[in-house]
Amino acid sequence: NAGVMQNPRHLVRRRGQEARLRCSPMKGHSHVYWYRQLPEEGLKFMVYLQKENIIDESGMPKERFSAEFPKEGPSILRIQQVVRGDSAAYFCASSGRTSGRANEQFFGPGTRLTVL
């Protein structure tokens, strides 16, 4: 299955701990997006990355959140010192074409983060 992969699928953390979410894009895709979805809410854009570059992080909280997409390996979304309000589903999506505008995105199954 060459789809978008995310792990872990479920993550439980206590307040103050770090959460590390991983995303491997679809084979051949070099564009990765991270979204957050709260219960009964829509998807909120967080960050858009290409290999080794953060292209747009306008949706990312200024503190505690960071993202990377290294030359080798998956993209990582890191949340430091988690708080209860960070509990949500975090989806990663990948896209392959570079036509100069937004293209179809393919989503991973998501990581459901619960902060106790």
Q: Site residues (CB under 8 A) for other proteins?
A: 31, 33, 35, 41-45, 48, 55-56, 58, 89, 91, 95, 100-110
Nearer to other proteins, 83 or 102 (CB): 102
Q: How far is the CB of 56 from other proteins (least distance, A)?
A: 6
**Residues 94, 71: Cα–Cα separation, whole Å:** 15
Supply φ then ψ for residue 85, to 5 degrees: -65, -10
35: three-class secondary structure by DSSP: strand
Which of 70, 62, 61 shows the shortest CA–CA distance to 90?
61
Q: How far is the CB of 108 from other proteins (least distance, A)?
A: 6
**Residue 4: how many other CB atoms lie within 10 Å:** 22
Nearer to other proteins, 55 or 116 (CB): 55
Q: How far is the CB of 80 from other proteins (least distance, A)?
A: 24
Q: How far is the CB of 109 from other proteins (least distance, A)?
A: 5
Nearer to other proteins, 63 or 99 (CB): 99
Which of 101, 108, 105, 46 shows the shortest CA–CA distance to 77?
46
